[in-house]
Amino acid sequence: MVLEMLNPMHYNLTSMVPEAVPLATMPILLLTGFLLFIWSYEDTSSIPGPGYCMGIGPLISHCRFLWMGIGSACNYYNKMYGEFMRVWICGEETLIISKSSSMFHVMKHNHYISRFGSKLGLQFVGMHENGIIFNNNTALWKVVRPFFIKALTGPGLVHMVTICTESVVRHLDRLEEVKNESGFVDVLTLMRRVMLDASNMLFLRIPLDENAIVVKIQGYFDAWQALLFKPDIFFKISWLYKKYEKSVKDLKDAIDVLTEEKRHRISTADKLEDCMDFATELIFAEKRGDLTRENVNQCILEMLIAAPDTMSVSVLFLLFLIAEHPKVEEAIMKEIQTVVGERDIRIDDIQKLKVVENAIYESMRYQPVVDLVMRKALQDDVIDGYPVKKGTNIILNIGRMHRLEFFPKPNEFTLENFEKNVPYRYFQPFGFGPRSCVGKYIAMVMMKVILVTLLKRFHVQTLQSREVCIEKMQKINDLAVHPDENTNLLNMIFVPRNSDTRLES
Applying CB under 6 A, the site for ligand HEM has a residue count of 26
Report the nearest approach of ligand HEM to the CB of residue 71 (Å): 12
Site string for ligand HEM, 431-450 (x = CB under 6 A): x---xxxxx--xx-------
**Min CB(14)–ligand HEM separation in Å:** 52
Q: Site for ligand HEM (CB under 6 A): which residue of 148, 229, 441, 494?
A: 148
475-477/386-388 β-pairing: unpaired
Give the residue with the Cβ less far from ligand HEM, 37 or 432: 432
In the complex, the smallest distance separating the C-beta of residue 241 from ligand HEM, rounded to whole angstroms, is: 25
Closer to ligand HEM at the Cβ: 130 or 310?
Answer: 310
Residue 132 sits in the site that holds ligand HEM (CB under 6 A): yes
Answer for which of 285, 306, 319, 395 binds ligand HEM (CB under 6 A) is: 306
Contact between 95 and ligand HEM (CB under 6 A)? no
Q: How many helices (H) and strands (E) does the chain have?
A: 19, 10
Indicate whether 311 belongs to the interface with ligand HEM (CB under 6 A). yes
175 close to 454: Cβ distance less than 8 angstroms: no
Residue 61 found at the interface with ligand HEM (CB under 6 A): no
- On whether the CB atoms of residues 302 and 131 are closer than 8 A, the answer is yes
> Which C-beta is closer to ligand HEM: that of 262 or that of 448?
448
Return the residues of window 195-254 that contact ligand HEM according to CB under 6 A.
none
Say whether residue 468 binds ligand HEM (CB under 6 A). Answer: no
The residue range among 72-80, 122-130, 217-225, 428-436 that interacts with ligand HEM, by the rule CB under 6 A, is: 428-436
The answer for 227, left when phi > 0, alpha when psi is -120 to 50, beta otherwise, is alpha
Of the residues 200, 259, 295, 314, which one makes contact with ligand HEM according to CB under 6 A: 314
Kindly tell me which of 295 and 310 has the beta carbon lying closer to ligand HEM: 310
Q: Is 437 marked as binding a ligand?
A: yes
How far from 499 is each of 308, 344, 474, 494, CA to CA, in Å? 31, 20, 33, 11
Contact 429, 439 (CB under 8 A): no
Q: Report which of 448, 123, 428, 148 is spatially closest to residue 305, judged by C-alpha positions.
A: 148
> Which DSSP string do the residues of 190-206 spell out, in sequence order?
HHHHHHHHHHHHHHT--
- Is position 308 an interface residue for ligand HEM (rule: CB under 6 A)? no
Report the 10 Å Cβ neighbour count for 45.
15
Residue 408 C-alpha from the chain's centroid: 27
Q: In whole angstroms, what separates CA 171 from the centre of its chain?
A: 25
Q: Which stretch binds ligand HEM (CB under 6 A): 9-17, 26-34, 309-317, 341-349?
A: 309-317
In whole angstroms, how close is the CB of 296 to ligand HEM at the nearest point? Answer: 15
Positions 355 through 414 that interact with ligand HEM (CB under 6 A): 369-370, 373
Residue 107 interacts with ligand HEM (CB under 6 A)? yes
CA distances from 46 to 40, 57, 403 (A): 12, 16, 26
Listed residue (64, 67, 111) closest to 394, CA to CA? 111
Pick one of 133, 168, 214, 336: the residue that binds ligand HEM (CB under 6 A): 133
Q: Which is nearer to ligand HEM, 112 or 458 (CB)?
A: 112
Q: Measuring CA to CA, which residue among 219, 168, 175 is closest to residue 198?
A: 168
Task: Closer to ligand HEM by CB, 249 or 440: give it.
Answer: 440
Helix-strand-coil split of the chain, %, nearest 5: 60, 10, 30
Q: Which stretch binds ligand HEM (CB under 6 A): 3-11, 160-168, 179-187, 429-437?
A: 429-437
Handedness of CA 24, 30, 36, 38 (dihedral sign): negative
Is residue 188 part of the contact set for ligand HEM (CB under 6 A)? Answer: no
Q: State yes or no: residue 122 binds ligand HEM (CB under 6 A).
A: no
- Sign of the alpha-carbon dihedral angle for 172, 175, 179, 184: positive
* Beta bridge pairs of residue 234: none
Query: Is 96 a residue that touches ligand HEM (CB under 6 A)?
Result: no
Min CB(358)–ligand HEM separation in Å: 15
**Whether the Cβ atoms of residue 214 and residue 308 lie closer than 8 Å to each other:** yes
CB of 221 to ligand HEM, least distance (A): 13
> Residue 48 or 434: which CB sits closer to ligand HEM?
434
By three-state DSSP, how is residue 476 classified? strand
Are residues 359 and 322 in contact, defined by beta-carbon separation less than 8 angstroms? yes
Of the two residues 226 and 396, which places its CB atom closer to ligand HEM in the complex? 396
Distance from C-alpha of 463 to C-alpha of 320, rounded to nearest angstrom: 10
Nearer to ligand HEM among residue 310 and residue 417 (C-beta)? 310
Residues in a beta bridge with 94: 87, 393
First to last CA, the chain: 68
Q: How far is the CB of 132 from ligand HEM (least distance, A)?
A: 5
Least separation in angstroms between CB 370 and ligand HEM: 4
74 binds ligand HEM (CB under 6 A): no
Angle (nearest 5°) at CA 504 between 498 and 505: 115
* Residue closer to ligand HEM, measured from CB, 103 or 493: 103
Are 156 and 202 contacting, i.e. CB atoms less than 8 angstroms apart?
yes
- The DSSP symbol for 46 reads -
Interface contacts to ligand HEM, rule CB under 6 A: 107, 132-133, 145, 148, 152, 302-303, 306-307, 310-311, 314, 369-370, 373, 429-431, 435-439, 442-443
Q: Binding-site residues for heme, please? A: 437
